[in-house]
Amino acid sequence: MKVLVTGVAGFIASHVSEALLARGDAVVGVDNFDPFYPRAVKERNLQGLQSRKGFQLIEADVARDPLPLEGVDVVLHLAAKPGVRPSLEDPGAYMEANVTGTARVFDAARRAGVMRVVFGSSSSVYGNATPAPFAETVPAVSPISPYAASKRAGELLAFAFAHLYPMRILNLRFFTVYGPRQRPDLAIHRFTDLISRGQPVRMHGDGSSERDYTYITDALDGIVAALAWTERAPEGSVDAVNLGGGARVRLDRLIALIGAALGRTPQIERHPDQPGDVRLTDADLAHAGAVLGFRPRVGIEAGIRNFVRWYEEIHGRQS
C-alpha cells in the first residue's frame, strides 16, 4: 500500500510512518515545517524515516501547494496547526490551515481518484457540554476554542465529501496522545521538562480537571485499523471514532506521576483556569471497539514511565 501522510514531521505522523514502513508499505510524507515549534525538533522526528526504503519527503503546504498523489492508495491527513490555547491568539490562521487545508486535501484526493482518507480530528470537538463518557453519537456542536471549531469543521467537510462522492473517510478523534517525541508544548512534555530541572509547574485550576490520555502505541493501533477500514467500507461511507486511553486522570495526579517517575517532588504554582480549556475529556470506546477492534493497552503509569525514560535519554538525567 502507498500512503500519503500529511504533517509527517509531527509527533503522531512520524511514528505511524515508521510503523507503515516496517510492515512494507510505502510512505509519501508531506510537511511545511510550520514554526509553531522548532524545525530541529521535527527533523529529529524524521531521523528514523529519512534513510528508509519506501519513504519520500516533500516539503509543501497542504492549504496551498499541489499534493503528490500519483499511485497513492490512501491519505492519512494529520497536518494541522495544533493547540487550543494558541488558537485563541490567531484564529484566522487556524481556519486557513485546518479548514481550508483539509478541504484542499479532500478535494485533491477526489480529483486524483484516491477515495480513501483518514482524518485526524480531536476530542476537543466535544466542548464542555457533552456528558461523559463522550460518545460519537452525541452532537458535537459547542466547541469552545477556534482549534476545536476547526477540527469539527474538518469532520463536517468529510461528511459532505463522502455524501457527494464515492469516498470513504474516517474521522479519528484523538484524546491527548502522548509518548516519545510528543510536542514540547504539551502538558506531559512541558511538566517533565520543568520538574526535571527543579522548576515550578504552572497548574491551572485546583488540579481536579481530568483528561483521557492515549499512549502513542495505542493511537498507532487505532490509525492502522482506520486505514484498513477505508479499504473495506462501502463507497460513500463516513464515520467518527474516538481513540482514547480508557481512563480519566486528574491533573494533580498526572503531575505527581511525572514527579515520581523522575524521582523529584514537583513545585506547584497555582493559576486560574484558562479560556478554551475543557474541564474533562472521557472517551467512550464502545464504537471504536466495534468498528476498529480498538482496545488500549498502555495505562497512564506505564506510559508516563516510558515517556520519562525517553526524555532522560534525550536530555540526560538532571542532578
pLDDT in tens, 22-71: 999 999 999 999 998 899 999 999 999 988 999 999 999 999 999 999 99
Cα(259)–Cα(283) distance, integer angstroms: 26
**What per-residue confidence (pLDDT) applies to 274?**
82
- Residue pair 133/238 in contact (Cβ under 8 Å)? The answer is no
Lowest average pLDDT, out of 70-74, 77-81, 203-207, 260-264, goes to 203-207
Bin 163: left if φ > 0, else alpha if -120 < ψ < 50, else beta. alpha
Read off the pLDDT band of 318 (50, 70, 90): low
Active-site residue among 147, 178, 213, 311?
147
Domain residue ranges of the chain, discontinuous segments joined by +: 2-179+215-243, 187-210+246-282+297-315
**What per-residue confidence (pLDDT) applies to 43?**
95
**What per-residue confidence (pLDDT) applies to 129?**
87
**CATH H-level, domain 187-210+246-282+297-315: superfamily:** UDP-galactose 4-epimerase, domain 1 (3.90.25.10)
Reported as a single tens digit per residue, the pLDDT across 66-90 is 999 999 999 999 999 999 989 999 9
Read off the pLDDT band of 260 (50, 70, 90): very high
The overall pTM is greater than 0.85:
yes
CA atoms within 13 A on the CB side of 150: 26
Question: What number does CATH give the domain 2-179+215-243?
Answer: 3.40.50.720
**What per-residue confidence (pLDDT) applies to 315?**
86
Strand partners, 280: 210
147 tagged catalytic: yes
| pLDDT more than 90, % of the chain | 92
